[in-house]
Amino acid sequence: MSISHTVDPETKIAIIGIHGVSNLEEIVQGIDHLLNDREFRAGYGVLIDIREMRYTPFADEAAKLAEAIARSRSLRNHPIAMVASRRAQLGLAEMITDVAKVRGVVARAFRPNLGAAAIWLDQQMRLHRSEPH
């Protein structure tokens, strides 16, 4: 599988890395693996790094991925940043994050800066913590 994830308890950011050739099923499974990781907790941000992905989903597959993210009860309550390196990847990331946002997920696409995505995630997590419950 060309999907990996890490959870950093210091920054409270989980990173899903998609590397090389992959497919929609593997990506969804990679997200599921993160959700089942005991280190992944409420209040953490999720960074999906597609900069090294060598798979371009068709529009319907990208929509299915966005729907899977938005439907996931576990993932829906975490801000999500997607980081792309190429223009086509950015278009894909924007499409996925736009569909997810329509479904109530806080999400944004970035190119190609992981640092900007991490800063944005930190800001979103701070906003969420300061909101009255």
Is residue 74 over pLDDT 90? no
pLDDT, mean over the chain = 88
What is the set of domains in the chain, with CATH numbers? Answer: 3-126 (3.30.750.24)
pLDDT above 90 (res 68): no
pLDDT band at 51 (very low <50, low <70, confident <90, very high): very high
110 pLDDT above the threshold of 90: yes
Return the pLDDT at 95. Answer: 86
Q: What confidence score (pLDDT) does residue 1 get?
A: 52
Among 30, 42, 25, CA closest to 6: 30
